[in-house]
Every structure is written in C-alpha cells, then in structure tokens.
Amino acid sequence: MTLPTLPPVQFVNTPLLRMAYHEWNPGAPRTVVLVHGWPDSPRTWLQVAPVLAQAGWRVLAPSVRGFGETRFLEAHTPRTGQLSAVGRDTLDFIAALGLHQPALVGHDWGARAVAIACGLQPGVASHMAMLSVGYATNALGPDMSLAQAHNYWYHWFMATPVGEQVLRRQPRDFARKMWELWAPPGWYDEAEFEATAQAFDNPDWIDITLHSYRQRWGHAPGDPAYAADDARLSPAPVLAVPTLVIHGQADGVNHADLSAGKERYFTGRYARTVLPGIGHFPQREAPRVVGEALAAFLASAS
C-alpha cells in the first residue's frame, strides 16, 4: 500500500524558529492553520486538510517546535516545551506569514497551543477548534480523578531518571505505546506510524518532550522568556472567539469529561461534539466526520 504524502515542505522564519509547514489550496481567500499534537506530525491532517481545501480554505499545517524539519535558529535558545511557548510559536507563525484572522484548529498540544494563542492575543483568529483537549486543563489540580491520573502515567514516568533514559533509548517505541493506549485497539496502520515517527527524529524532540511534561507539573523550571505569558494565562482567560470542541468518547488519555462544562469560558458561540467509539486521534480515526464538522463550523459566521 502506498501511503499518502504531504505537499512539499515550505519554511518561514519566526523570531526563534525556522518553521516547516505544508500548504493546501494556496491563494484561497480564507486561511486555516492546523496545529498537530504529541506524539504526531502534520501527517495527522492528511485526510482532513483536503476536505477544508475543497471547502475553499487555504490550509497550513506547521511542524511544532521539536518536530519534523522545524529547527531553532540559535543553538543557545532553551529547548523549552512549555505550553505557552508552543502557543507563542503559533502567534509568531501567523505573524511571519502575514495572516489576517486565520481560523485555528489544534489537536492535543496543538489544541492547547491555539487556545493559548487566542488567550494571549484576542482577535487573532476568526474561529477556533480544539480536538481531544478540554479548555482550562493545562494543569489539573488536586481534584484530578484517579482514573485521569492513571491516564497520565507517562507524565510522571518522564519526570524520573528512568523515564528519561527510556525515552532517550527508545523514543519511537515510547511514542508507539501512546498510540496503542490512547485509542481503541487496531485503529492505526504500522506503516503510517513509521512515516509519522520520522518527525520524532528531530534533534530537539526528546528535550522538548521531557521539558514539556516536567515543567507542566513543577518538575522543571519554566523559561523566563514566557513568564509574562504564563501569568496572563493563569487563570485561564475567557475567550470571545467562536469555538468548536471535538472529543472522542473512547479517548484513552484525556477523558472526554475533561472537555465538558466549559461554556463559562466562552462569550462567543460555543459547540462541543463527542464521537462515540473514537479515541484520542479523531482526525485520524474519523477524518471525514471531523473534516466535515470543521468545514461546517468554519463556514458559519462568527
């Protein structure tokens, strides 16, 4: 079987990164930016992007810091994976390409990134969609359920020296374990995983991964460059951007309940869809359903 391929890679420089990205339907009057999560790559949008392009959108899918062909411009820049940095990267990407109020869609880390971008710069996006993540859940408190703590085992594991050694020694095997556990059995093709996992060969992927999960729970210091952003994001700001949340009912890492009851954080139009039998990767597991839901939502007036 021949795997589908992404459009040719392109690059744009932001203040910190040479960001790789892929583009569908260039020249279309409206733009949507698709931000992938961990452990994934822009390939996660391979079946969704054409649906949006056919609906008249210019589609851009960047590689997040530490993934694929995205590289830091300077060797001395801290390889921070804290979520505010990924959100700021999203804003920098928008600015570098001169985009005016694009729609922002993100999955996993990408969902957190687009929400952070909208929180830091109100009005930056025409619409926002978050896949597999509940808003205001970047750092859950002591009321976290034991079931959710169980799902987050890999967070705590990577905070230990043994967890770091395992990740450094077996990065692809570690990532494959997430794919196995986060969605119903048999959902993915091994060849597709291997094609995606090439993005994890980025020399910064391991350090970015470790810092992201360690910093999130206080096991590593944050980058002072993002202190002001972190302060603005705590507590989570109320957003005016029209927002769609798509969550798989069988999500094996972020329980679907984590995205429930978030209406109070949104003053604009807000919708949430839970997909039965779908795990953590709805854009891969049910791409036609997700693509059409996104196209319909983005077509609606703000």
Q: What is the DSSP string of the chain?
A: -PPP-PPPPEEEE-SSEEEEEEEESTT-SEEEEEE--TT--GGGGTTTHHHHHHTTEEEEEEPPTTSTT-EESSTTS-----HHHHHHHHHHHHHHTT-SS-EEEEETHHHHHHHHHHHHSTTS-S-EEEES--TT-SS--TT--HHHHHHTHHHHHHTSHHHHHHHHH-HHHHHHHHHHHSSSTT-S-HHHHHHHHGGGGSTTHHHHHHHHHHHHTTSSPPPGGGHHHHHHTSSPPPB-S-EEEEEETT-SSS-GGGGTT-GGGBSS-EEEEEETT--S-HHHHSHHHHHHHHHHHHHS--
Is 5 part of a structural domain of the chain? no
Is 63 part of a structural domain of the chain? yes
Q: Give the per-residue pLDDT at 140.
A: 80
Is 2 part of a structural domain of the chain? no
pLDDT tens column, 168-224: 999 999 999 999 999 999 999 999 999 999 999 999 999 999 999 999 999 999 999
Q: Give the per-residue pLDDT at 153.
A: 97
How many domains would you assign to the chain? 1
Residue stretches of the chain with pLDDT short of 50 = none
Is 93 part of a structural domain of the chain? yes
Is 85 part of a structural domain of the chain? yes
Residue-number span of the structural domain to which 274 is assigned = 10-299
Q: Give the per-residue pLDDT at 300.
A: 84
Is 3 part of a structural domain of the chain? no
User: What CATH number is associated with residue 230?
Assistant: 3.40.50.1820
Is 15 part of a structural domain of the chain? yes
Is 193 part of a structural domain of the chain? yes
